[in-house]
Amino acid sequence: MTLASHYSSSRCAISFELFPPKTPAGMQALVKNVKRLTEFGPSYFTCTYGAGGSTRGTTLDVVEQVKRVTGLPVASHLTCVGSTVDQLADYLVEASQRGAEYIVALRGDPPKGSDRFEAVEGGLRYANELVELIRQRFAGLGIAVAGYPEVHQEAPDAKTDLDNLKRKVDAGADIVVSQLFYNNDDFYRFRDACVAAGISIPIVPGILPVTNYKQAERIAAMCKAAIPASLANAMSENDDEDYQFNVGVEHARAQTVDLIENNAAGIHYYVLNKSEAAAKMLDGLELATG
């Protein structure tokens, strides 16, 4: 099944994003949680690629394991950080051999302490170049690219960022997956702007069910996603773990319901290898678009 075709039915296609665990125990927990998440009928899973290629092998271990356990398509994320074109191509060969059907094609972040991304000699400067590489040499792989409802932190303005997103689409991306956000209006504005710019591939919102206030603040700062005052106030008014978990999950559930009502093509969930919050958030929801 092609990546874009998951988004062609009236059902809101969901996908779950995982990251490579550091230990065998972490991998065991991941497999257990993936089995539980599968009960919610995801279309596919994805696994992130660590900064500077640090998880190269483990990302593909997760791809293989999740495919074996679920029988579903699995995407490997891939960044340009620290790799030459030849190294990226080698990874893509290995990813295909180990069962990845889709690639989330990314530039990656600048190294810690630097606010500028530098391509290595013989490497790529922007994600659109990685999309071109995949399209030219790995035609069978589906391609997702990243989009930023609240504008990428390095972009001078929303218009420039959108022009750059369009380059990735024109280079051959199949879908756009958005950075996480807490206010759906930010996503709707972004989606409208994409459509106005002539982007006609599915634009999939990314949602992270936060489970405690400190985590919400940390992730929001890292991803430059604003936390609405209502969520910040509700979460910070009580230190109790269960209370904060319930407030965070309820917010993500309300975002989900609203996105479905507003004809989201699908929803990509950043589940951080866990299943409890996702299960509570999705329990009993009709995942059909209006």
Contacting positions for ligand FAD (CB under 6 A): 48-49, 51, 77, 79, 104, 106-109, 126-128, 146, 152, 154-155, 160-161, 164, 167-168, 177, 179, 206
The least distance separating ligand FAD from the CB of residue 236, rounded to whole angstroms, comes to: 26
Nearest residue to 122 (alpha-carbon basis) of 167, 87, 168, 79: 87
The least distance separating ligand FAD from the CB of residue 78, rounded to whole angstroms, comes to: 8
DSSP-derived pairing of the beta strands 175-180 and 142-147: parallel
The residues that are catalytic are: 17
Between 218 and 238, whose beta carbon lies closer to ligand FAD? 218
The least distance separating ligand FAD from the CB of residue 270, rounded to whole angstroms, comes to: 8
In terms of C-beta density within 10 A (0-12 exposed, 13-18 middle, 19 or more buried), how is residue 193 classed?
Answer: middle
Between 244 and 273, whose beta carbon lies closer to ligand FAD? 273
Between 124 and 249, whose beta carbon lies closer to ligand FAD? 124
The least distance separating ligand FAD from the CB of residue 138, rounded to whole angstroms, comes to: 17
The count of other CB atoms within 10 Å of the CB of residue 32 is 13
What six digits make up the tokens of 158? 């929303």
The CA distance from 77 to 49, in Å, is 5
Report the sign of the C-alpha dihedral through residues 238, 239, 242, 247, in that order.
Answer: positive
Nearest residue to 256 (alpha-carbon basis) of 221, 218, 215, 288: 288
Between 164 and 246, whose beta carbon lies closer to ligand FAD? 164
DSSP 127-145: HHHHHHHHHHH-TTSEEEE
